[in-house]
């Protein structure tokens, strides 16, 4: 502890991002990056922005990108909020919409940034256990709370909650904000953005890091009732009025305009996910049903820690969480066909 730290800093438990090792010939399957690169049109759009205009501030409202996202999803631009990756969007959500004194609810096995935000903003929280099959049960969210947030598909489990079940949670909490974090929705799920006009308490967050292969560009957004968006804008403009630079705005818009490339990449990930799932089940793994660009699997006779270590010795990196209920699971990003072949071969050798 430094004598210069604020008291809050001393008690913070920061989020730990996935390891970014620098190893030769690495098979990196630990951070859920898309194995297929961004659309060539994204590269062209970014290159076109590399000019004298970089001396000028970007559009603080990202109006053109918001219009593009709104048109894509059949909503209004005033229902879209932009941020520097969905993590920043989520941070503003926690600060602007969850500070009501009552504990917010989220699953016990979920995105580990949620408790970090609660610690940062001193927001009380209560974890809601997933079922024995690692599913979200809407009945468990019919209790007093200061708000609800969950990923769909959930991370790190990959399990998806159908929209009818999402609506059960929304109907049970009409006076609290329900946030559906859809970082992985494009790999087989159906977005809840279609419900925002029916439920003024619904806020949906998404990212361009996963399905649109732009993790390095940092673009995220939220969709909801204009009142919710106004709250996020107030927080944003009290923190950083220019969260997206000119290159990010241009690249993100180009990514949305190349639907064929987007669909090709998603289909490629889904196809490989099915192949890897079948191969691992053949090796004695239990693989949870996944609608994400990763799988969550445990072996019947080997510990998750031992398997992760054994793979690492072969230059294959997967994510292992040393946490209750999931310590024997591995979260494995779906890679290229060649990377997935190396994974399967590596597991066979173990």
Task: Of 220, 227, 219, 127, give the one whose Cα is nearest residue 177.
Answer: 227
Quote the tokens at residue 175: 């006076």
Residue 2 has what pLDDT? 80
Mean pLDDT, the chain, as a whole number? 95
Are 151 and 184 in contact by the 8 Å Cβ rule? The answer is yes
Task: Of 169, 239, 94, give the one whose Cα is nearest residue 161.
Answer: 169
Residue 10 has what pLDDT? 80
Are 219 and 211 in contact by the 8 Å Cβ rule? The answer is no
Strands 148-151 and 178-181: parallel
The model's pTM is 0.95
Residue 163 has pLDDT above 70, yes or no: yes
In the chain, where does DSSP find H-type helix? 7-11, 40-48, 63-73, 85-97, 113-121, 163-172, 226-236, 246-257, 259-282, 304-312, 337-349
Quote the tokens at residue 178: 């329900």
The mean per-residue pLDDT over the stretch 306-332 comes to 95
In the Cβ-directed half-sphere of 44, how many Cα atoms lie within 13 Å? 7
Residue 9 has what pLDDT? 84
Length of the chain in terms of residues written: 350
The mean per-residue pLDDT over the stretch 237-263 comes to 97
Residue 200 has pLDDT above 70, yes or no: yes
The dotted CATH code for 7-37+260-349 is 3.90.1150.10
Q: Which fold has domain 41-257?
A: 3.40.640
> How sure is the predictor about 320, in pLDDT bands with cuts at 50, 70 and 90?
very high
24-41 pLDDT, tens digit each = 779 999 999 999 999 999
The mean per-residue pLDDT over the stretch 96-105 comes to 94
Residue 5 has pLDDT above 90, yes or no: no
> How sure is the predictor about 331, in pLDDT bands with cuts at 50, 70 and 90?
very high
Annotate 227-276 with DSSP letters as a single string.
HHHHHHHHHHTTT-S--S-HHHHHHHHHHHH-HHHHHHHHHHHHHHHHHH
Residue 256 has what pLDDT? 97
* Whole-number Cα distances in Å, 92 to 87, 88, 231: 9, 6, 9
How far is residue 66's CA from residue 269's CA, in Å, rounded to a whole number?
A: 27
Residue 227 has pLDDT above 90, yes or no: yes
Residue 8 has what pLDDT? 81
Quote the tokens at residue 23: 């190893």
Residue 1 has pLDDT above 70, yes or no: no
Residue 279 has what pLDDT? 98
DSSP state of 186: G
At residue 150, the 3 state secondary structure works out as strand
The domain ranges of the chain are 7-37+260-349, 41-257
266-313 pLDDT, tens digit each = 999 999 999 999 999 999 999 999 999 999 999 999 999 999 999 999
* Whole-number Cα distances in Å, 118 to 94, 149, 237, 323: 7, 12, 21, 19
How far is residue 311's CA from residue 328's CA, in Å, rounded to a whole number?
A: 14
How many angstroms separate the first and last alpha carbons of the chain? 43
7-22 pLDDT, tens digit each = 888 888 777 777 777 7
């Amino acid at each position: 502890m430094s004598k210069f730290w604020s008291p809050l800093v001393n008690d913070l438990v920061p989020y730990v991002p996935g390891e970014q090792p620098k190893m030769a010939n690495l098979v990196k399957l630990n951070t859920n990056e898309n194995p297929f690169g961004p659309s060539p049109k994204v590269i062209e759009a970014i290159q076109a922005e590399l000019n004298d205009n970089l001396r000028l501030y970007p559009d603080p409202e990202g109006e053109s990108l918001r219009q593009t996202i709104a048109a894509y999803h059949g909503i209004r631009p005033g229902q879209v909020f932009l941020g520097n990756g969905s993590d920043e969007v989520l941070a503003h959500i926690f600060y602007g919409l969850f500070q009501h004194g009552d504990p917010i609810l989220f699953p016990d096995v979920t995105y580990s940034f949620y408790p970090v935000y609660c610690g940062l903003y001193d927001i009380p929280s209560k974890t809601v256990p997933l079922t024995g099959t690692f599913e979200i049960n809407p009945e468990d969210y019919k209790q007093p709370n200061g708000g609800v947030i969950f990923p769909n598909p959930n991370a790190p489990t990959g399990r998806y909650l159908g929209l009818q079940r999402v609506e059960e949670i929304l109907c049970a909490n009409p006076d609290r904000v329900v946030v559906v974090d859809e970082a992985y929705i494009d790999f087989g799920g159906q977005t809840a953005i279609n419900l925002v006009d029916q439920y003024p308490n619904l806020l949906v967050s998404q990212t361009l890091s996963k399905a649109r292969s732009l993790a390095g560009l940092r673009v995220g957004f939220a969709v909801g009732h204009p009142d919710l968006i106004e709250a996020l804008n107030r927080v944003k403009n009290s923190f950083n009025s220019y969260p997206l630079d000119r290159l990010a705005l241009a690249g993100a818009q180009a990514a949305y305009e190349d639907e064929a490339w987007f669909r090709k990449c998603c289909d490629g990930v889904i196809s490989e996910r099915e192949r890897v799932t079948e191969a691992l089940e053949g090796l004695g793994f239990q693989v949870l049903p996944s609608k994400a660009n990763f799988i969550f699997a445990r072996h019947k006779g080997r510990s998750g820690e031992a398997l992760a270590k054994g793979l690492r010795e072969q230059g294959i990196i997967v994510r292992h969480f040393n946490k209750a209920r999931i310590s024997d699971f591995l979260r494995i990003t779906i890679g290229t066909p060649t990377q997935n072949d190396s994974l399967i071969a590596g597991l066979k050798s173990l």
